[in-house]
A and B are shown apart, each in its own frame.
Chain A
Amino acid sequence: MALTESPPVGAAGLTRDRLREMYRYMLLGRLLDQRVLVLNRQGRAPFAISGQGHEAAQVGVGYALRRDYDWIVPYYRDITLVLVMGMEPRDQLMAALAKAGDPNSGARQMPSHFSSREHNIVSGGSPVATQILHAVGVAQAFKYRREDRVVVVTVGEGGTSEGDWHEGLNWAAIHRLPVVFLVENNAFAISVPQSLQMAVEHVTERAAGYGMPGVSVDGGDVLAVYRAAVEAVERARTGGGPTLLEAECVRLQSHSSDDDQRRYRAAEDLDSMRLHDPLERFRADLESSSILADGDADQIRLECQRLIDTAQEEADQAPVPDPATALLHVYGDD
């Protein structure tokens, strides 16, 4: 599954194989996400935070980037995006079960605090939107060193209320930095709806205010996101500066395992959301254009399920972190 070359610019010129691959990633992300939630309900994973409903947006953006060359600064719903960028289901299961072999943080952080030096996935903490400024700094370094790398930073629409968000977009635009800001807008910040988060209908209405282009897309349409992302990434890579991308997604699950959205969202809202499942939509599209034949989707599902089961077995058997390591790595000279 090599993703090292840039995809073709402009058109969705994606091959058949590439499209099936994208579907596979969406499904893998979904199934992995579901498994982590189940582990939580079994009492084995103390905390889980879902990205279900965001798969199309994440795969669309991921495919516009060069894996192991470009950087991402993700947020906690990007379980599918980090798979596209090179992480494995085992990694997130290790994190969920708080095992020593968790590559994100050695189980020092909650799950979904993604990090991989190897795949240029920057470690994030829990304070929201602090990562915006980090991505700007990374982009500044790329520019300083005359590298044609691009960094994508993601955040929910709630995060765009933080001071760090506004400061970050301002700085990036002043210096025309190679950064793409992706807002995965799923209309709720825990229980706070978008109407109480901002006075504009689209986050991108502010883009001109910062001094950069802004593009809103249907986050449930993987190819629409892909096209918009390709354009934004190209702009960044060729010195055209930052772009604000907004992908409108559905938050199929509650905010986290400690939240129950049925207590504050209307039943009709939740029902209609399920009709907009991006996974189902893409499968239907691919089947109707014969890129997926009858039974292909089930076959892919089976394969992904097996992959996850195997990964879980490994995570189940893995040891917990050694208490003697708790004091390490505060400083570099530890």
Chain B
Amino acid sequence: MSITVTMPQLGESVTEGTIGTWLVQPGQQVERYDSLVEVITDKVTAEVPSPAAGTVGEILATEGQRLSVGEPICTLEGSAEEVTTEPEPSALPESAAEADEVGEGEGEAAAAAVEVTAPAEVESSVEKTVVVATDEPKSDANGSSGFISPAVRALAEEHSIDLAQVQGTGFQGRITKRDVLLFLEGGAAAPAKAPAAAKEEPGPRPAPAEPARPGDKIPLSPMRRSIAEHMVRSLRTSPHAWTMVEVDMSGVAAARAGRRAEFLAATGTELTFLHFGMKSTCLALRAVPTMNAVFEEDAIVLRSEINLGLAVAIGDGLIVPVVRNADRYSVAGLAQAASALIERARQGKARLEDVEGGTFTLNNAGALGTVTSQAIINQPQAGILVMDAVVRRPVVVGDAIAIRPIMNLCLSFDHRINDGAAAARFLGAVKSTLEAVTADTALF
């Protein structure tokens, strides 16, 4: 059989060589490794050894000729042995093809791929929105530079926001992410923090477009998703313990009954059990400051303010507007502050500062009729207090049985921060101030 001998690569970065002196002639017998020809490169002059034993066949390159690496220089005939060649690279496993990104695993590459597709979809839908907007003269009045950052684009798409409606406060009047977030707080479907699964006094609830039927899948709204995430995280973060006391609300009932009409006339606000509950809670938080605290890695930080959050139902979820420095208000003040907040929340006009900075949460679940509730703490707080339904029950007074309006006060607390004794002290404080209310108690 015939073999073609080619120009070898003689040295790093060498790409060609010049034929020097032929050391063999056609017809000459050669052994394997015998020198065939001298080759000159700019690095070395070397002799090319025969790859096999055989007879020199045809000389294919002349002395002085320049050839590239791999070009034929002569043939070898009748070689008895097989020339050993490199094995086929089929020895490589399939996985070689998959090892692509330097240092990153497939997971990350896949994740990157997912990220890439999303913005494309976002872009097309937001563009539609923006195109519609520019038809209206209103958009020019914004004075926006028109630059929509990726974050703004993503938010707008997620919440189906018409950016023309958003006031831009950023560089050259552009709409910033914060502008969009603020717009959201004041707009529909606020992505609020949400604690316990209970509501304020039943207000008009927006009816769902189509009632879901058994077997249907209800897609998660951003708020529901946010609530879900918060609940799971809250339980995972705080070891929840629960305790309750019964409160005789007859004094509060009397106070309310007697002063309701006058209060409404004076302030335009309805006086409710909640307002008394808020006052008592604030007093109790002052008495037991560890119930108004945050758990940090190696300290329990007592909050310097008492910012009381109230759970409000909106849409298919919750929002918790906060009365800042609630302990500085009288019952009347709390009533007015709470009302304003709740009104804004119900109308979807809650501002960012309305929901920030809460240090403790109060939930008036009683309106729904439940008698005990185990709420989930609104992180990163130390506890959440639920006022359940006021129910007329037979109780022992002295040696006789009387009928009194009894309310259960249910406290879920973070057992890392407080033990049962502190929890009981706190509840006891709320209970005692509520039970001390009479028809003559000052409201203002």
Q: Please, which residue of chain A has its CB at the minimum distance from the CB of B92?
A: A322
Q: Does A46 interact with chain B (Cβ within 8 Å)?
A: yes
Q: Please, which residue of chain A has its CB at the minimum distance from the CB of B90?
A: A319
A257 to B44, CA, bound (A): 8
Q: Does A262 interact with chain B (Cβ within 8 Å)?
A: yes
Q: A46-B9, A323-B92, A323-B99 are in contact. Are A262 and B49 (CB under 8 A)?
A: no
Q: Mark A87-130, 1 if CB is under 8 A from B, else 0.
A: 00000000000000000000000000000000000000000000
From A254, A260, A318, residue with most partner B Cβ within 10 Å: A260
What are the residues of chain A within 8 A of B421 when measuring CB–CB? Answer: none
What are the residues of chain A within 8 A of B103 when measuring CB–CB? Answer: 327
Q: Mark A291-334, 1 if CB is under 8 A from B, else 0.
A: 00000000000000000000001001111101110110000000
B43–A260 contact, CB under 8 A? yes
B91–A319 contact, CB under 8 A? yes
A260–B45 contact, CB under 8 A? yes
Q: Does A259 interact with chain B (Cβ within 8 Å)?
A: yes
Q: A313-B84, A320-B89, A323-B92 are in contact. Are A41 and B43 (CB under 8 A)?
A: no
A259–B8 contact, CB under 8 A? no
A262 to B6, CA, bound (A): 25
B93–A262 contact, CB under 8 A? no
Decide if the interface of chain B is mainly helix, strand, loop or mixed.
loop
Q: Mark B32-71, 1 if CB is under 8 A from A, else 0.
A: 0100000000011111110100000000000000000100
B93–A257 contact, CB under 8 A? no
B93–A41 contact, CB under 8 A? no
Selected contact of A41 from candidates B49, B86, B95, CB within 8 Å: B49
B93–A258 contact, CB under 8 A? no
Q: Which of B1-30 contact A (CB under 8 A)?
A: 6-12
Give chain B nearest CB distance to A274 CB in angstroms: 16
Q: Please, which residue of chain A has its CB at the minimum distance from the CB of B14?
A: A258
Q: Does A25 interact with chain B (Cβ within 8 Å)?
A: no
Q: Does B202 interact with chain A (Cβ within 8 Å)?
A: no
What are the residues of chain A within 8 A of B47 when measuring CB–CB? Answer: 41
Q: Does B137 interact with chain A (Cβ within 8 Å)?
A: no
Q: Which of A249-266 contact B (CB under 8 A)?
A: 254, 257-260, 262
B9–A43 contact, CB under 8 A? yes
A135 to B30, CA, bound (A): 48
What are the residues of chain B within 8 A of A260 when measuring CB–CB? Answer: 43-46
A47 to B87, CA, bound (A): 20
Q: Please, which residue of chain A has its CB at the minimum distance from the CB of B89?
A: A320
Give chain B nearest CB distance to A202 CB in angstroms: 31
Selected contact of A262 from candidates B8, B45, B95, CB within 8 Å: B45
What are the residues of chain B within 8 A of A322 when measuring CB–CB? Answer: 92-93, 96
Give chain B nearest CB distance to A3 CB in angstroms: 31
Q: Does A14 interact with chain B (Cβ within 8 Å)?
A: no
Q: Does B102 interact with chain A (Cβ within 8 Å)?
A: yes
A324–B44 contact, CB under 8 A? no
Q: A41-B46, A42-B49, A262-B45 are in contact. Are A257 and B95 (CB under 8 A)?
A: no
A327–B102 contact, CB under 8 A? yes
A sample of 16 more A-B contacts (CB under 8 A), given A38-B33, A260-B43, A323-B96, is A41-B48, A43-B10, A44-B8, A254-B44, A257-B11, A257-B44, A258-B43, A258-B44, A260-B44, A262-B45, A319-B92, A320-B89, A322-B96, A323-B92, A324-B96, A324-B99
Q: Which A residues form the contact surface with B (CB < 8 A)?
A: 38, 40-44, 46-47, 254, 257-260, 262, 313, 316-320, 322-324, 326-327
6 pairs across A/B with beta carbons < 8 Å? Answer: A38-B33, A40-B10, A257-B10, A259-B44, A317-B87, A322-B96
Which 8 pairs from chain A and chain B are nearest by CB? A43-B8, A319-B91, A260-B44, A258-B11, A323-B96, A324-B99, A316-B84, A324-B95
